[in-house]
Amino acid sequence: MKAPRSTTRAILVPIAVGVLTVSLALVAAKLAGIDVGLGLRRIREAPASAMLLALASAFVVLGLQALRWYSVMGPIVGLPYADAFRAQVVGQFLNAVLPARAGDILRVQYLGLRSGKSRATILGTEIVDRWLDWWGWLPTFAVLALVSSPPYWVYRALVLFGGTLCAWGALMVVLTKRGYRPRPGSRLGRLYASVQIGLSTVRSHRLWLIAFFVAPLPWLWEAIAIVVTAHGFGIQLSFVMAFSVIIGFNLAMVVPSPGAVGAVEAGGTAALIFFGADRSQAVAFMCVYHLSQLLPSIVTGVAVLIVGGEWRFWRRPSQAQEALA
- Asked whether residue 12 carries a pLDDT value surpassing 50, the answer given is yes
Number of folded domains that form the chain: 1
pLDDT value, residue 2: 47
When pLDDT is cut at 50, 70 and 90, the band that residue 121 belongs to is: very high
- Asked whether residue 322 carries a pLDDT value surpassing 50, the answer given is no
Dihedral sign from CA coordinates of 124, 127, 129, 132: negative
Pair 219, 140: CB distance under 8 Å: yes
What is the three-class DSSP state of 61?
Answer: helix
Q: What is the pLDDT of residues 264-299, one digit of tens each?
A: 888 999 999 999 998 888 888 998 899 899 889 988
Give me the percent of the chain exceeding a pLDDT of 70. 80
Dihedral sign from CA coordinates of 192, 197, 199, 203: positive
pLDDT value, residue 261: 78
When pLDDT is cut at 50, 70 and 90, the band that residue 15 belongs to is: low
**Taking residues 14-25, what's their average pLDDT?**
61
Give me the percent of the chain exceeding a pLDDT of 90. 45
Q: What is the pLDDT of residues 47-64, one digit of tens each?
A: 888 889 999 999 999 999
pLDDT value, residue 306: 85
Report CA dihedral (159, 161, 163, 169) to the nearest 10 degrees: -140
Contacts 24+ apart (CB under 8 A), 133-136: 133/65, 133/68, 133/215, 133/218, 134/161, 134/164, 134/165, 135/165, 135/211, 135/215, 136/68, 136/211, 136/215, 136/216, 136/217, 136/218, 136/219
**Mean model confidence pLDDT for the chain:** 84
Supply the pTM of this predicted model: 0.85
Q: What is the pLDDT of residues 197-211, one digit of tens each?
A: 999 999 889 999 999
Q: How many helices and strands (H and E) does the chain possess?
A: 15, 0
pLDDT value, residue 65: 96
Q: Of 41-50, 113-122, 134-143, 243-252, give the lowest mean pLDDT range.
A: 41-50
User: Residue 244's domain spans which residues?
Assistant: 5-323
- More confident site: 140 or 9: 140
DSSP 205: T
Of 102, 94, 5, 59, nearest to 306 by C-alpha is 5
Q: What is the pLDDT of residues 139-184, one digit of tens each?
A: 999 888 888 888 999 999 999 889 999 999 999 998 888 666 667 6
